[in-house]
């Protein structure tokens, strides 16, 4: 068990956790258009928070650093790390690849480490441990798994997990080729669902062994290696991850809930088999989009907010649940009078990598 | 340019970044003339949002060059788009 000391975010709903919560809980959809044909960058290995006064076009690295610093500023305001041995983990997946695709032909290009180092430098963190975790859409939850290991081993006093994702033409076309994108808006768990909408986000979370009012009581990752992209329809890997947690049942689930046929089928099947209709299920991707490697971090932050505010939010685009699904969902007109004390977050990633984490009320 | 916006932005720049008021002119370059660094962009974004009570596109702030650009950004943020 590790304490969630602080967090901050920058999403399409706006800068800050309050904007994120307000957007998701009031049913707003932050659909955003992304560049489809070109990428106006010059690859640069010294990311800058911003390009004042227009020294060069901003790269994916620059933009992610900017949004990470906005998130860091919010998270840092509530915690003093000056006496701590701090570890820093960057969680991201495909966003940074845009810089490589459009400017470099070297397969040896490492785009993640310069961003991690730049983040530490700008955040003025003298990190004793640093790591990049790029585990597809489970990157954030995998990073929390690693954070727990570092803290349990006593290697650090606090861990900063910085998660960020960017969408450019390569990422967009990739999802398009997989027929994974919705033609309208994402409607997770509805019969009319026809795909996901992509989103961009940055989030910073700070963990420690200190007591906190919200904690991560468990995190588990499982890999099935079923295919390059698709998860196995059986959902066995997700089931193994949940079973590995070995924790009491949640009263709320923040599902991965992308709105694709397969993702939602797997989640309904496994959640019903594990918990029946007892926990309410909701999600955030219909509102702020699927933020890929950052999505788990955004949902962990939202889970903390549901516990602190003692309420939940709905699947705002979902009028009615697919009749073949058996779990209990918070659809657009559902009563959100849930008083969450234990929230499960799931992330399902390409290659059949599945992760879950439980966030619950802490001692203080 | 709406002088009320100029005054509000200048007040923020003076109080938030301790820039002398006589230096706060539209043509002042944020970096060379006002001495702001890239991290100040993050602070400026948050301060502006708090002061104006309105959401600013962070991406746009990354590309402003002069104080005049900031005035324009704020004015466009506070002015509803016409159809």
pLDDT in tens, A54-107: 555 567 888 888 899 999 999 999 999 999 999 999 999 987 877 777 776 666
For residues B24 and B67, the answer to whether their CB atoms sit within 8 Å is yes
What is the arithmetic mean of pLDDT over A239-252? 96
Q: Which of A106-120, A169-183, A192-206, A241-255 comes out lowest in average pLDDT?
A: A106-120
Q: Which of A180-194, A302-316, B12-26 comes out lowest in average pLDDT?
A: B12-26
Shortest distance, CA B57 to any CA of chain A (angstroms)? 8
Q: Judge whether residue A50 has pLDDT over 60.
A: no
CA pair distance A206, A300, nearest whole angstrom: 12
* B63 → closest Cβ in A51, A70, A73: A51
Q: Judge whether residue A167 has pLDDT over 70.
A: yes
**What range defines the domain where residue A102 resides?**
2-361
User: Percent of chain A scored above 90 by pLDDT?
Assistant: 74
* Alpha-carbon torsion, ordered A153, A154, A159, A161, to 10 deg: -10
Q: Judge whether residue A342 has pLDDT over 90.
A: yes
- Report the domain count for chain A: 1
What's the whole-number average pLDDT of chain A? Answer: 91
Would you place residue A232 in the very low, low, confident or very high pLDDT band (cuts 50, 70, 90)?
confident
Tell me which residue has tokens 């990073």.
Answer: A143
| CB-CB under 8 Å, B58 with A67 | yes
Would you place residue A230 in the very low, low, confident or very high pLDDT band (cuts 50, 70, 90)?
confident
Cβ count within 10 A of residue A83: 7
- Name the more confident of A59 and B16: B16
B67 touches chain A (CB under 8 A): no
pLDDT of residue B38: 73
Q: Which residues of A touch B49 (CB under 8 A)?
A: 14-16
Q: Judge whether residue A356 has pLDDT over 90.
A: yes
Tell me which residue has tokens 């004390």.
Answer: A341
pLDDT of residue A94: 81
| CATH number reported for the structural domain that contains residue A15 in this entry | 3.40.47.10
pLDDT of residue A53: 45
User: Percent of chain B scored above 90 by pLDDT?
Assistant: 29
pLDDT of residue A363: 86
Q: Judge whether residue A182 has pLDDT over 50.
A: yes
pLDDT of residue A5: 96
| CB-CB under 8 Å, A50 with B61 | yes
Give the chain B residue whose CA is nearest to the CA of A72.
B42
* A58 → closest Cβ in B31, B62, B65: B62
Backbone angles phi, psi at A177, to 5 degrees: -65, -30
| CB-CB under 8 Å, B64 with A52 | yes
Reported as a single tens digit per residue, the pLDDT across A9-20 is: 999 998 899 999
Query: Is the complex ipTM more than 0.90?
Result: no
- What value, to the nearest 5°, has the Cα angle with vertex A87 and ends A205 and A7? 10
CA pair distance B22, B20, nearest whole angstrom: 6
What is the arithmetic mean of pLDDT over B42-62? 80
pLDDT of residue B32: 87
């Amino acid at each position: 068990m590790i304490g969630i000391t602080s967090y901050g975010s920058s999403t399409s709903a706006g800068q800050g956790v309050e904007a994120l919560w307000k957007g998701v809980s009031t049913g707003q959809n932050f659909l955003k258009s992304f560049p489809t044909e070109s990428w106006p960058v010059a690859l640069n290995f010294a990311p800058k928070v911003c390009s004042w006064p227009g020294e060069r076009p901003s790269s994916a690295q620059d933009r992610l650093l900017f949004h990470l610093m906005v998130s860091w500023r919010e998270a840092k305001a509530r915690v003093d790390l000056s006496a701590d041995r701090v570890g820093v983990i960057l969680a991201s997946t495909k966003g940074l690849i845009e810089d490589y695709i459009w400017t470099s032909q070297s397969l040896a290009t490492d785009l993640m480490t310069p961003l991690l180092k730049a983040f530490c430098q700008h955040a003025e963190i003298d990190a004793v441990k640093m790591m990049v975790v790029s585990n597809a859409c489970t990157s954030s939850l995998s990073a929390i798994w690693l954070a727990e290991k570092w803290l349990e081993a006593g290697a650090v006093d606090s861990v900063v997990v910085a998660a960020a994702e960017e969408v450019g033409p390569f990422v967009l076309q990739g999802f398009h080729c997989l027929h994974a994108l919705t033609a309208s808006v994402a409607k997770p768990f509805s019969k009319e669902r026809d795909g996901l909408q992509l989103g961009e986000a940055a989030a910073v979370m700070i963990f420690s062994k200190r007591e906190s009012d919200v904690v991560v009581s468990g995190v588990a990752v499982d890999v099935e290696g079923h295919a390059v992209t698709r998860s196995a329809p059986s959902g066995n890997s997700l089931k193994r991850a949940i079973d590995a947690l070995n924790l009491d049942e949640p009263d709320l689930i923040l599902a991965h809930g992308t709105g694709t046929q397969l993702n939602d089928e797997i989640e309904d099947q496994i959640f019903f088999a594990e918990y029946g209709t007892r926990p309410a299920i909701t999600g955030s991707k219909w509102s702020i989009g699927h933020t890929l490697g950052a999505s788990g971090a955004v949902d962990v932050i939202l889970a903390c907010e549901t516990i602190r505010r003692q309420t939940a939010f709905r699947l705002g685009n979902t009028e009615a649940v697919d009749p073949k699904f058996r779990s209990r969902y918070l659809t657009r007109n559902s009563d959100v009078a849930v008083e969450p004390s234990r929230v499960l977050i799931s992330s399902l990633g390409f290659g059949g990598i599945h992760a879950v984490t439980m966030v619950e009320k802490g001692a203080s | 340019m709406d002088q009320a916006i100029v005054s509000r932005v200048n007040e923020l720049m003076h109080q938030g970044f301790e820039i002398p008021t006589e230096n706060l002119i539209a043509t002042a370059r944020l970096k060379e003339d006002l001495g702001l660094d890239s991290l100040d962009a993050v602070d400026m974004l948050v301060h502006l949002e708090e002061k104006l009570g309105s959401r600013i596109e962070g991406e746009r702030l990354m590309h402003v060059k002069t104080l005049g650009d900031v005035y324009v950004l704020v004015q466009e943020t506070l002015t509803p788009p016409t159809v």
